[in-house]
Chains A and B, each alone.
Chain A
Amino acid sequence: MISGAEYMRRELMIRLVRLFDQGKLDEELDRIPIRVRPKDGEASRCCVYHDRAVLKYRLMALLGMRCEEETDEAQTLAGYFQDADAREKAPGDPPLTVCTAGCSGCPDNSYVVTGNCRGCFARPCVFNCPKNAISVVNQVSQIDYTKCIKCGKCMNVCPFHAIVKTTVPCEDACPVGAIRKNAQGRAEIDFEKCIFCGKCFRACPFSAIMERSQLLDVLNVLKRKPAHVAAVVAPSAYSQFPGTIEQLFTAISKLGFDDVVEAALGAELTSANEAQEFLEKMSGGQRLMTTSCCPAYVELVKRHFPDFLQYVSHTPSPMKYAAQLVREKDPDAVVVFIGPCIAKRHEAEESGLVDYVLTFEELGSMMAGRQIDVISQEPWTLLTPAGENARNFAKSCGVTESVLADMTRPKCGTCGESGKCGENAENPCVENGQCGENAENPCVENGQCSGNTETPCGENFELKAKFINGIDRKTLSQLKLLAMGKDPANFLEVMACPGGCVNGPCSLHVK
């Protein structure tokens, strides 16, 4: 089931698409908060007027604006729309913005006595508190917060579960400590530290952390058509919508895209080249290589452990390869990446290869706004469907499986030059011009790279894989151990989202 936050976000997106198509955005935008929260309707917060105020900021973020940059509180949404409508490039970093009016200023982590307390006779809380912070007043436990050291012992011993731990959901979710409260007690993101993983965006129960949408920019580019517009669709999309992949592609093309391309085709290149890079690095004496397709992980290393960057693969991500494939055909094409990810917005901007990034929620809202049903579409003809391994890139362990398959795929001349085992090759499978004597399965026959051999030149390097399936507070120390060589793994796959991109912050989370 979807949450109230998702419902509202999607409803606003769909409304935006419909008003765009009717050409009524400038006159209607400022009315949306009132239509959504009429005065005699139900409120989600204290009253509909507070709801409306927050809705205005939501719509601002939906237009790609940063709430932090509001200088004139009296500025109308129509005014913001004019600025957004006129821009020719996607709104850049940072991809997130905090709606201060929506943030509830959740109380700091602490232990709280609830109404379950029966002021019992045994009083284990009082006796177990190492700081004598608990006393019983009027038959109810009370914690003296000037003494409490937040050890949690009282919570664990209470037989009535009367003491609970309260947390700040956004701060708790952030793996790098990038969120703090400002002087007014509202959440604030430090974008020097933020790795754009989007965990706070999903965690906040008030939905106060919002992404800056590029929906309007994409709607405009599809309408104005400054050039051919191509959609590059992440493989995690395939499990999101009802209907088949081929039907989904037809539906996407009906939104006005001139071409729809599988990002998985880029994943095939990433996989093959990453396998090659791995073999080279291992034979060059490097101890460890990690994947690089998750942009939140790459930012984690860049911003919080730059010394580790030497181990991160240089092979471009599937998104970048797929964008290159589009640009080889048409250098002027406008490339729109469609995925479940917030960090991809940052990667796209940094790469210069991808013009816009849409999330699955935004894609779904565009189709919903135009009443395009995936299940009613004719199948699209995929000229070169991507392989299964490449499509599995979106799942945790999928990258490793694909790279592994590429390493062990019989391939002639990976180490060699023009079909021969190259003696000067950086990565020879032969020693002193001869097939390594200890090699069980020689990859050369009669001094030549044998095309039909089952075992490629990389056989000597056993791939010992390790997975970090979801980045959290412990991830940095795990990386530090790996850097110190305290782990036998030589190949590390990291995905910021548990389970992989299929569970990305902007996926539809269908079960």
Chain B
Amino acid sequence: MEKIRLEICCGTTCFMLGADKLMRMETLLPEEFRERVEITGVPCLNVCMEESICRAPFVRINGVPHAQATVESVFEEIRKLLEKEEREDSE
């Protein structure tokens, strides 16, 4: 089973606009996600320019950038992806 790829933006814009808690994702991840998710910290994802600045902080999940990310919103997203996977498996 492929792991969900979680890329936490550690760029300075995201950091200044609230990513510090996201950067501790590794320690916050609930037990049930541990085996299913792979976390990496990455430099600026380059999606924080122009007007999208007010949508920071960003996290990329399986290649898709998520705006206004919080630890909770990221968990929610992971949960959705896992459920989808299970559904597809059972079909």
Whether a CB of chain A sits under 8 angstroms from the CB of B65 is no
Q: Does A241 contact B (CB under 8 A)?
A: yes
Contact of A374 among B12, B18, B51 (CB under 8 A): B12
Q: Is the CB of A368 within 8 A of B12?
A: yes
Min distance, Cβ B30 to any Cβ of chain A, angstroms:
19
Beyond known contacts A242-B10, A364-B12, A371-B11: 8 more, CB 8 A cutoff: A14-B13, A14-B53, A15-B53, A36-B54, A368-B11, A368-B13, A368-B17, A371-B46
A375 contacts chain B at the CB level, 8 A cutoff = yes
- Tell me whether B44 and A371 are in contact (CB under 8 A): yes
B61 interfacial contact with A, CB 8 Å: no
B18 cross-chain contacts in A, Cβ below 8 A? 1-2, 7
Tell me, in angstroms, the Cα distance from A351 to B20 when the chains sit together. 35
The 4 closest A-B pairs by CB, nearest first: A368-B13, A368-B12, A367-B12, A364-B16
Whether A371 pairs with B12 at a CB distance below 8 angstroms is: yes
Report the separation of the CA atoms of residues A361 and B17 in the bound assembly, to the nearest whole angstrom: 10
**Among the listed B20, B41, B49, B53, which residue makes an inter-chain contact with A375, where contact means beta carbons less than 8 Å apart?**
B41
Instruction: List, in ascending order, chain A residues with CB within 8 A of B16's CB.
Output: 10, 14, 361, 364-365, 368, 508
**Contact for A372 among B12, B17, B41, B54, CB less than 8 A:** B12
Query: How distant is B8 from chain A, measured CB to nearest CB, in Å?
Result: 10
Q: For B12, what are the chain A residues with a Cβ–Cβ distance below 8 Å?
A: 241, 364, 367-368, 371-374
Given A15-B53, A373-B43, A373-B44: A242 touches B23 (CB 8 Å cut-off): yes
Q: How far is the CA of A376 from the CA of B11 in the complex (A)?
A: 9
Q: Which residue of B lies closest to A41 (CB)?
A: B54
Write out, one digit per residue, whether chain A residues 175-213 have a CB within 8 A of any chain B CB (1) or not (0). 000000000000000000000000000000000000000
Chain B residues in contact with chain A, CB under 8 A? 10-13, 15-18, 20-21, 23, 41, 43-44, 46, 48-49, 51, 53-54
* Interface size counted on chain A using CB atoms at 8 A: 27
Complex contacts, A10 vs chain B, CB 8 Å:
16-17
A510 to chain B, nearest CB (A): 5
Closest chain A CB from B80 CB (angstroms) = 23
Contact assessment for B15 and A364 in the assembled complex, using a CB-CB cutoff below 8 Å: yes
Q: Which of B10, B13, B20, B44 interacts with A510 by CB under 8 Å? A: B20
Residue of B nearest to A365 (CB): B16
Interface residues in A203-260 (C-beta closer than 8 Å to B): 241-242
Chain A residues near B44 (CB-CB < 8 A): 371, 373
Question: A residues within 8 A CB of B46?
Answer: 371
Task: Please tell me if the beta carbons of A376 and B43 are within 8 angstroms of each other in the complex.
Answer: yes
Q: Is A161 at the interface (CB under 8 A from chain B)?
A: no
Alpha-carbon separation in the docked complex, A2 to B41 (Å): 20
| Nearest A-chain residue to B9, judged by Cβ | A373
CB distance from B39 to the nearest CB of A (A): 14
Q: Is the CB of A7 within 8 A of B11?
A: no
B15 pairs with A241, CB closer than 8 A: yes
Choose from A1, A11, A508, A511 the contact partner of B53 (Cβ within 8 Å). Answer: A11
Expressed in whole angstroms, the Cα–Cα distance for A508 and B21 within the complex equals: 13
* CB-nearest residue of chain A to B20: A510
Provide the residues of chain B in CB contact with A365, threshold 8 Å. 16
* In the complex, A45 has a CB within 8 A of chain B: no
On chain A, the residues within 8 Å of B53 by CB distance are: 11, 14-15
Asked if A39 lies at the interface with its beta carbon under 8 angstroms from chain B, I say: no
- Which residues of chain A in 363-400 are interfacial with respect to chain B, using CB atoms and an 8 Å cutoff? 364-365, 367-369, 371-376
Residues in B with CB closer than 8 Å to A508 are 16, 20
B10 touches A7 (CB 8 A): no
Contact B10 A1 (CB under 8 A): no
B15's contact among A11, A35, A242, by CB below 8 Å, is which?
Answer: A242
Beta-carbon contact of B17 and A7 below 8 Å? yes
Q: In the complex, A7 Cα to B53 Cα: how many Å?
A: 11
CB of A11 within 8 A of CB of B17, answer yes
**Chain B residue contacts of A511, Cβ below 8 A:** 20
Contacting residues, chain B, for A374 (C-beta < 8 A)? 12
Task: Report chain B residues within 8 Å CB of A373.
Answer: 10-12, 43-44
Q: Is the CB of B17 within 8 A of A2?
A: yes
Tell me, in angstroms, the Cα distance from A511 to B18 when the chains sit together.
11
Nearest opposing residue in chain B for A374, CB measure: B12
Q: Name the distance in Å between B77's Cβ and chain A's nearest Cβ.
A: 18
Taken together as a complex, chains A and B put the C-alpha atoms of A373 and B10 apart, in Å, by 7
Of residues B13, B48, B49, which shows the largest number of chain A Cβ atoms within 10 Å of its Cβ? Answer: B13
A-B contact pairs, 21 of them (CB 8 A): A1-B18, A7-B18, A10-B17, A11-B17, A14-B53, A18-B49, A36-B54, A242-B20, A364-B16, A365-B16, A367-B12, A368-B12, A368-B13, A368-B16, A369-B13, A371-B12, A371-B44, A371-B48, A372-B12, A373-B12, A508-B20
- With A11-B53, A242-B23, A368-B12: A375-B17 Cβ-Cβ less than 8 Å: no
Q: CA separation between A50 and B13, bound complex, in Å? A: 27
Q: State A510–B51 Cα separation when bound (angstroms).
A: 25
Give every chain B residue within 8 A of A35 (Cβ-Cβ). Answer: 51
What CA separation (Å) do A241 and B12 show in the bound complex? 9
Q: How far is the CA of A375 from the CA of B41 in the complex (A)?
A: 10
Cα–Cα distance between A371 and B13 once the two chains are bound (Å)? 7
> Given the complex, which residues of A lie within 8 Å of B49, measured CB to CB?
18
Give Cα distance in the complex from A371 to B18, angstroms.
Answer: 16
Q: Which of A325-379 contact B (CB under 8 A)?
A: 361, 364-365, 367-369, 371-376
> How far in angstroms is the closest Cβ of chain A from B57?
10
